[in-house]
Amino acid sequence: MSGKKLRQRSCIACRRLATRTELIRTVLIGNEIKVDLTHRMGGRGAWLHANCLKVATERRSFNHALKFEGEIKTDELDNYLKTLGN
């Protein structure tokens, strides 16, 4: 048995558990969502599936997950996901 436990996170949009490699870590800087590819950025992070951004936006999942009131910009995440082919 491998002693290494897979750390799981839940997607802020669909709430399903997934391993960190299945999710994208994002961090809120000011009111902008930044993509944290190295998982090393400070601040409150929100994890989500690449194909859950639409749901996250509709449900204001970023606001809930990050306890932020007001408009959150997701342009950078949007652009990043486009480069992935979503």
Span from 5-13, 33-41, 59-67, 68-76 in contact with Zn ion (CB under 5 A): 5-13
Is 28 one of the binding residues for Zn ion (CB under 5 A)?
A: no
Is 49 one of the binding residues for Zn ion (CB under 5 A)?
A: yes
Burial code (b: 16+ CB inside 10 Å, e: under 16) for 52-76 equals bbeebeeeebbbebbeeeeebebee
Is 52 one of the binding residues for Zn ion (CB under 5 A)?
A: yes
Minimum distance between the CB of residue 49 and Zn ion, rounded to whole angstroms?
3
Minimum distance between the CB of residue 8 and Zn ion, rounded to whole angstroms?
13
Q: Are 49 and 23 in contact (CB under 8 A)?
A: yes
Minimum distance between the CB of residue 63 and Zn ion, rounded to whole angstroms?
16
Query: DSSP 3-state assignment of 55?
Result: helix
Residues 6+ apart with CB under 8 A from 54: none
Residues in contact with Zn ion by CB under 5 A are: 11, 13-14, 49, 52
